[in-house]
Structure 1
Amino acid sequence: MTISDEPAAQAQANGSVPISIDEGMRSVGNVHFISRSLTERTPLLLAAATTPSTHLGNATYDSDDQSNGPPPGTPAASPAPTDGLVFNPLFKSRSLSFHALPPSRQSMGRGHLRTRSKFLAGPRDSVDNLSLIKEAAGVRVWYDDYTTIDWIHEFVKEQTRIRSIRSLKGTSGMLMNMWDSVQAWLLVVLIGVVCGMLAAAIAISSDYLSSLKHGYCGRGFLLSHEACCGYNTTGDVCTDWTAWPLLVPSELLGAEWTGFGSYCLIGTGFILVSALLVYCFPNQHKVHSGEFKTAYYAAGGGIPEVKIILSGFVIRGFLGLQTLIVKCTGLVFSVASGMITGKEGPCVHIACCVGNIACRLFDKFEKNDAKRREILSASAAAGVAMAFGAPIGGVLFSLEQVSYYFPHKTMFRSYLCALVAAMTLKFINPFENGKIVMFQVTYDREWHWFDMGFFLLLGVFGGLYGVLFCKLNALWVRYRRQSWMKRYPVHETLCLVLVTLVVSYPNIYTRMSLTDLVTTLFEECRKGDYYEGLCVRHLSDYGPILQLLLVAFLNRATLTILTFGTRVPHGVFLPSLVVGALMGRITGTLVEYAYRLHPASAVFASCGGEHGCIVPGVYAIVGAAAVLCGTTRMTMSLVVIFFELTGNLTYIMPMMLSIMVSKWVSDFFCKDSIYDAMIRIAGYPYLDNQHTFVPHKSIVELLQTNVETIDLKDANTIADLRVKLAVTITKGLVDGGFPILDGHRLIGYISCSELEYVLEKVRHKDDTESCYFNDTHVVVDVETDVLMYNNFTPFVDQAPLAVTPNASAEMVAELFRKLGLRYLCVVDDGCFQGVIHKKRFISYLRDDRW
């Protein structure tokens, strides 16, 4: 059955029976209803009221169930289409004529609603796919690698699944609905528990291996330095800890050279293990040319890729089991080696791997890519919770930084997932001190108004450093891709870490692990405290301490730029914290030195001559927040994370001030964070939903007119379709497709992946056989129709979204962002003009330098 504008007499002559469908109740007798109005699919685009129900014989099909809301960002229905929005001409009338097939054709396979295709999803596959055809959305195959998902189709598929479950009656129906409701909550709890356990294992392992660079515990070889000696604040010697120089007679090599050699040798060995893990277990993916490309998904932090995956991009294997195992193991050795890296960024990637693997337990999430991304958003929040012990900050991080589609239900699920992860970490107690993060600190003293000026300066510094870091690191990454380092990533990593260890050992602060260094810099000096010399007792000690801190700052700032982007698991969170904390501690120490020289100065009048009025640790934490904001452009989530780290509201206002100034300064020079810069360098098709732009072209100039089309008036043989497919893929439009025309009238669209699949199904047939994309018979079995009749109609999107040439480029961008479209057709007075592909549109935005 198909929509037709033929007169009744002509329809009867063709052997079909015209059936009129008016507003209100639609009765089709015993004829299977195939196509549905576009209004029931995208409420944004059509104001015409949808009919409340459709009678199929004696059954009533509810067509108004929109309980889960529209796809990402879809606004409410508007009273009429405006600003160039048009619709498929098939659906432009509210009183349409449908042609039912003659009885001979209708009876084919009737009553045998089976679906055997491996790609069809849902708990009731046959019902779901027939309903998808009724929705005019078409059936979809698995998404190809490096393509984008169809958000609207995934939404329609979910709505169809929900209707099929809610149609179940009786006790079984009630139980099925209850089970469907609790699946998401069980899933996020499971993800939170696993993430907490992995975080504890990574923390314990990395701390122990990091301690091995310096020595071992005499009362237990498997104890780290912290577990063996506790957190030493007074500088006393730990008798249970045996340093490596003590094992070698001093007359043979010397204590200092023995310590230096063991530090460099063990650290280099650890990074070699991490680099080889990544290099020896790559991910292979096949491109359409038939070649296999190698990708090292376990390398780096993973947050840029998580961002684009949550926006709808498909990277198969990036969140798989192999990546999870290599990432966790390699991260432990990377952190322990002494490399300038942290585990906070990679924890987000690890949590999303756990979430993606856990989704396989439930078809509801496994077979719907949009629903799966809701769980991945919750997993990202758990990743921050397992890294910082900050569940609320994790939720805000997921909302602010990585998530593209974040409805209210996802926020609550993210909160539960992050909470469970933090509680699991707290229960395991990996640090044996009751804390879930190593640099959790508290302060006894209040801040003063004269501190605000210095906090503002730290905010300016954080913004400038963030911009400088993003620019210089992007230049270094581009150079790395063009030099010998691209061919020899393991050699590059070994050389870099060896240089890092050699230049870091002489300085007591750079010799420490990054976590221990941040903990020390954040601390407040109380009576009797030492903190590696940071608690100055005499004025003459300020010069040497400031010199060591300045050298450590230059060391860490430079090496952070050179390290980010290497092919080992690493993150940028902790290195940015270290750089900011060092600059903050330097600033605070200088202010403290000035106060001790001039305690009666009017600037320090609010101190009243009190000893310890200046707290350099507060400057360190404010500087750390400013630099991390300048690097990642986090704002609200960063404030909450630092609040959860310190547990003190007293210093929230100074941190908010420095973060705000850092954000302003960094955005003034460049709006891209380090993650956006990496996305741009990698060439991922990411359309940021937080940026605005002023276009300099009309959509007519952006229009791609030389696209391959399928005209129903042509023969459309199997050979012709294969040629069209090859040409389109050669143009780089792997996730593109083919507008289906009737003359010049747009009547549908079929993507490359669907056409490739059905052509593979009929590969045994003669290449001269014709294929059909608008067949009028009732589809009963998808594969049978493809194999027996070359009928590709079930795979056609019969309601492609289209705009007119006078539509604005801003509206096109909003449609791509909020509806998650992969393409947008352009028609003029019902005649097809061309297609705008999302990837090409993003390329225009990047080249246009908006």
Structure 2
Amino acid sequence: MPQPQLVQAIGLPLVIASGLSVGKEGPSVHYAACVGNVIPKFFKRFDRSYVNQSQFLTAAASAGVAVAFGSPIGGVLFGLEDITSSFRLSTLWKSYYCALVATGILSLINPFRTGQIVIFEVKYESDWKYSEIPFFIILGIFGGVYGILVSKFNIKAVAFRQKYLSNSGIKEVVLLCLFTSMTGYFNEFIRLDMTEGMEVLFHECGDGYDHGLCKADGSSKVAFFFSLIYATIMRMLLVIISYGAKVPCGIFVPSMAAGATFGRAIGILAELMFPCKEGSDQCIIAGTYAFLGAASALSGITHLTVAVVVIMFELTGAIRYIIPTMICVGVTKMINDNFSNGCGGIADQMIKFNGMPFIDVKEDHDFEDATVEEAMTDTVIALPYIGLVVQDIETLLAKCKFSVFPVIYHSENPIVLGYVQRADLLAYMNKMKKERVGGVNPEDGIRFVTDNKLVLLVEDHILNSLSNSQILEGSRDILFEPVVKFQFFRASVDASLNSVLQTFIKLGPRMLIVEDQGKLAGIISRKDLIKFELFLHHLQHENIFVSNKDYTIFSKFWEALNSLNSIVGGLVGQIRGRVLGNRGFEPIAQ
């Protein structure tokens, strides 16, 4: 197991046990995605196809969600709704089989010792009423507001963390645990494990279930109402400052927990407004509101719709409440579509904030009349097909971090013949070094490599116009043609960025070589496209995530924290001095 996954495997149980407001689905999807990225590399048929790699990653992510929640169909829908960039029927079936196998193995392991793969099961004997629809709409509005607020302030918290706390990860986690314990210990709904707390909140009263929520009368219900509202506000705050810390973490479960506490509070309010009459079958079940609030918050933070409905159904088994769940999720989506920043769920926003080269096909991208020349990278290191020596290649790999090097005919005539990737070039160099060190017999057809040997990147039979006098003697000893890719995507400098965007989305290349009248002009990658889009947006609306005013607030807050640290440090020093003094200790002479 690679080191990052090993650290996550050890850290995730400890983080969940610590009580931090983070979930487990993020690392679960990460594990699965890592496996989905490695498996295709063992098969040439899959390794060379971008489409196949994308399908493997989608299917693996589906299996990760399926295992995290015991929700195979929900996992499949999550992969199709949030992961894949283009719907294919073959992707659907791959995801289906992966989720099936994953949940089948989970069932054999029986992690909950109940014979079930769901965390808990809820059964509601009573059906919902049309008179409750206004309360469902309120829960949907809460889900949208929750998603907008938590996403917005969480990114600001991440920006503050990157600027001031990048080298203090352990201290930050310790302080987060301490703050979570201090603020949540005296509130039952924060103190409880989030899964256990949701089971309490979802439960329908009756059948011997005697939690305090079921025994509460008028005055105690009011107390529970304010306790749940406090738990909701604190959970939101804890999610904002905890998600993104240097620990394995997810966002699904804490969001569901926040929605559950708010939903149960609305359920208590509905019970107070419409008290149940003895013998009536029209009584309001407060636990259903917690269930629906959890679905709304999950939809609000992830911008998922159908997947959330199915996950909640598979998670609890509450089939009677699929339509109310759809109502809540539908209202949440309306809020997100009309009032969010248009960058998707919290994961999508974090991708854009960190500058990762991800093009979300579900969003609208409009570059107006911009051309490739405005967004491309014109700082490119190109390799002439002949004229370099091995030492030049080694120096290039040591000092230059570019991932792609175009291969050109000549520096004065930069016609692009192909390109070579840094990883392939490095692997080929290492292979030659092993042959040199191992002392391979030249009679076997492999010659020793020397640093001053000329490099031939393209064989002369490919360049028919090349004369024999241009092929230097001995250059064939170091033929790099096996690592040169001659098939590549091209774009003209005056091509529209909208057309280039469609090329990236539909054909899936990692980069396009830009030419000006048939000669090398630059390279444009997905990251260049995303950067240019953010640049255009910044010109009109400034930074969509963190403004200059935010950085001013960060600076003042950091000064306040340093002042508080100095005061606390001084008090601790005084107390320690008094304690040591009372015990008769004397300072050691320097």
Shorter-chain-normalised TM-score: which range?
0.7 to 0.9
**Alignment of structure 1 residues 39-118 onto 2, 5 Å:** none
Are 1:510 and 2:190 counterparts?
yes
Give unpaired runs (5+ residues) of structure 1. Answer: 1-319, 600-607, 779-784
Aligned to 1:385: 66
Secondary structure of the residue aligned to 1:655 is helix
Structure 2: distance between partners of 1:358 and 1:520:
41
Gaps of 5+ in 2: 437-448, 464-472, 539-590
1:583 aligns to 2:265 (yes or no): no
Please name the residue that 1:666 is paired with: 336
Q: Which residue of 2 aligns with 1:415?
A: 96
Question: Is the alpha carbon distance of 1:746 and 1:476 closer, same or farther for their aligned partners in structure 2, counting shifts above 3 Å?
Answer: same
Query: Aligned partners of 1:706, 1:566: CA distance in 2, in Å?
Result: 35
1:649 aligns with 2:316: no
Matched, 1:675 2:347: yes
Post-superposition shift, 1:482? 1.9
1:709 partnered with 2:382: yes
CA contact (8 A) 2:256 2:298 kept: yes
Instruction: Assess if the C-alpha contact under 8 Å between 1:740 and 1:750 holds in 2.
Output: no
More helix per residue: 1 or 2? 2
Residue 795 of structure 1: aligned partner: 483
1:428-451 Cα offsets, whole Å, 9 max, x none, are 433233332233212111212221
Partner AA of 1:585 in structure 2: R
Q: Check if 1:817 corresponds to 2:505.
A: yes
Shift of 1:745: 3.8
Q: What residue is the counterpart of 2:287 in the other structure?
A: 617
State the distance in 2 between where 1:499 and 1:327 align.
23
Q: Tell me, yes or no, if the aligned pair for 2:118 and 2:315 is still in contact at 8 Å.
A: yes
Give the alignment's TM-score, normalised by structure 2.
0.78
**C-alpha contact 1:439 1:522 (8 A) present in aligned 2:** no
Selected match of 2:236 from 557, 564, 570? 557
Change (3 A) 1:339 1:723: closer
- 1:324 deviates by 3.3
CA drift of 1:505 comes to 1.7
Structure 2 counterpart of 1:487 = 167
Alignment match, 2:496: 808
1:749 aligned counterpart, secondary structure = strand
For 2:30 and 2:210, how far apart are their aligned partners in 1?
37
Range moving further from structure 2, 389-398 or 344-353:
344-353
> What SS does structure 2 have at the residue aligned with 1:676?
helix
Structure 2 matches for 1:735-750, cutoff 5 A?
Answer: 735-741=403-409, 743=413, 745-750=415-420
Report deviation, 1:788.
4.2
In the TM superposition, residue 771 of structure 1 has moved relative to its aligned partner by 3.1
Deviates more, 1:629-638 or 1:734-743: 734-743
Give the counterpart of 1:700 among 356, 359, 373. Answer: 373
* Number of residue equivalences: 509
Counterpart AA for 2:507: L
**Deviation of the 1:516 alpha carbon:** 0.6
Query: In 2, distance between residues paired with 1:503 and 1:515?
Result: 19
Q: Which amino acid aligns with 1:583?
A: F
The amino acid of 1:506's aligned partner reads F
- When normalised by structure 1's length, the TM-score is 0.55
Equivalent residue number for residue 539 of structure 1: 218
Contact 2:455 2:479 in 1 (8 A): no
**Partner residue, 1:826:** 514
Match of 1:312 in 2: none
Q: Could you tell me how far 1:417 is from its partner in structure 2?
A: 2.1
Match of 1:350 in 2: 31
Is the CA contact (8 Å cut-off) linking 2:390 and 2:455 kept in structure 1?
Answer: no
The 8 Å contact of residues 758 and 786 in structure 1, kept in 2 or not, is answered as no
Paired-residue identity, %: 34
Task: Tell me: CA distance 1:683–1:512, structure 2 relative to 1, closer, same or farther (3 Å).
Answer: same
Indicate the residue corresponding to 2:140 in structure 1: 459
CA distance in structure 1 between the aligned counterparts of 2:420 and 2:31, rounded to whole angstroms: 36
**1:324–1:354 contact (8 Å) kept in structure 2:** no
Cα distance in 2, alignment partners of residues 685 and 578 from structure 1? 32
What SS does the corresponding residue of 2:524 show, helix, strand or coil? strand
* Aligned mates of 2:289, 2:144 — CA distance in 1: 16
- Pick 1 or 2: higher relative contact order, CA cutoff 8 A, min separation 6: 1
Match of 2:306 among 616, 630, 636: 636
CA displacement, residues 127-170 of structure 1 (integer Å, 9 cap, x when unaligned) = xxxxxxxxxxxxxxxxxxxxxxxxxxxxxxxxxxxxxxxxxxxx
Which position in structure 2 is the counterpart of 1:51?
A: none
**Do the aligned partners of residues 770 and 431 (structure 1) sit closer, same or farther apart at CA in structure 2, a change above 3 Å counting?**
closer
Write the distance in 2 (CA, Å) between the matches of 1:424 and 1:470. 34
The amino acid of 1:844's aligned partner reads F
Corresponding residue number in structure 2 for 1:472: 153
Aligned equivalents of 1:706 and 1:486: distance in 2? 30
Q: Is the 8 A contact 2:351 2:358 kept in 1?
A: yes
Q: Is the 8 A contact 1:710 1:716 kept in 2?
A: no
**Counterparts in 2 of 1:812 and 1:454: CA distance versus 1, 3 Å:** same
Alpha-carbon offset, residue 423 of structure 1? 2.8
Larger Rg: 1
Q: Distance in 2 between matches of 1:387 and 1:757?
A: 37
Aligned partner of residue 214 in structure 2, secondary structure: coil
Task: Verify the 8 A CA contact 1:718 1:759 in the aligned structure 2.
Answer: no
